[in-house]
């Protein structure tokens, strides 16, 4: 199917005011017609001219609607001049992993799909936030700009016919409006674990936990990720 750029007429929704932790609403709110599209378009527009030719990271905590939102965001980014997307496999990336990827790949920022500790599921919460090029949360000046744009939005752009499957790790190359567009679906854990090995001495930690450096008595630990996205990272690190 050919990729076509569409400009879709829309109207503002009240209350799309993100805090430091982004915009959090019920899933039923985010899945209203054009609700997510509006907010994502406003995030992109808030970046101004820097958006064109940029790299963005996209991923979240895996809660209900995460994968669908991730693929939708990729299509909106493609239509707005972004050149490259780094997406977590199945749309999954922890917030620290997004931060790590932004800095390692010198991305413009990252769109994080999470409502933190709020419960997930079709009757519960979803969230979207933007992390800037330093990997940290967007400052008030930026989120205020998003909010102002959300009250004025009249249209959003989307690449219709762009088939993307974030369940498969790999590099996907497209041509959008005559320009290359790359979606790299990455293992959700690998880059973050690499960062941890650069910060901490894993050999010394292994010796400590195994008891090798403390007289042979292994350290017993219980780790409860509480059904959070952290579980995949804990498994790999430990």
Helical (H) or strand (E) element with 66: helix 66-79
- Count of C-beta atoms within a 10 Å radius of residue 187: 14
Span 74-101, mean pLDDT?
Answer: 97
User: pLDDT at position 224, please?
Assistant: 86
Contacts for 54 with CB less than 8 Å, ≥ 6 apart:
47, 81, 82, 83, 84, 107, 108
Q: Active site residue: 83, 94, 99, 116, which one?
A: 116
Domains of the chain: residue spans and CATH: 4-188 (3.40.120.10), 200-237 (no CATH)
pLDDT per position as a tens digit, 153-207: 999 999 999 999 999 999 999 999 999 999 999 999 988 898 899 999 999 988 8
Confirm whether 116 is a catalytic residue. yes
pLDDT at 223: 87
Q: Is the pLDDT of residue 1 over 80?
A: no
Residue 148 has pLDDT above 60, yes or no: yes
Other CB atoms within 10 Å distance of the CB of residue 12: 15
Contact 101, 110 (CB under 8 A): yes
């Amino acid at each position: 199917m050919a990729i076509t750029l569409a400009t879709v007429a829309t109207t503002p929704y009240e209350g799309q005011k993100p805090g430091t932790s982004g915009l959090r609403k019920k899933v039923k709110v985010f899945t209203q017609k054009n609700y997510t599209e509006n907010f994502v378009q406003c995030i992109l527009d808030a970046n101004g001219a820097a958006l064109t030719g940029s790299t963005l990271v996209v991923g979240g905590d895996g809660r209900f609607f995460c994968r669908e939102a991730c693929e939708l965001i990729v299509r909106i980014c493609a239509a707005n001049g972004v050149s490259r997307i780094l997406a977590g496999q199945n749309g999954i990336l922890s917030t620290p992993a997004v931060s790590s990827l932004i800095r390692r790949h010198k991305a413009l920022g990252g769109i994080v799909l999470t409502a933190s500790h709020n419960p997930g599921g079709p009757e519960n919460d979803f969230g979207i936030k933007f992390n800037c090029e330093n990997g940290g949360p967007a400052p008030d000046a930026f989120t205020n700009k998003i909010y102002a744009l959300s009250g004025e939005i009249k249209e959003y752009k989307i690449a219709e016919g762009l088939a993307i499957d974030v369940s498969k790790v790999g590099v996907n190359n497209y041509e959008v409006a005559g320009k290359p567009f790359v979606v790299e679906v990455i293992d959700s854990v690998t880059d973050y674990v690499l960062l941890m090995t650069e910060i901490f001495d894993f050999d010394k930690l292994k010796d400590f936990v195994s008891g090798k450096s403390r007289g042979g008595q292994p350290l017993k630990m219980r780790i409860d990720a509480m059904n959070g996205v952290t579980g995949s990272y804990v498994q790999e690190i430990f």
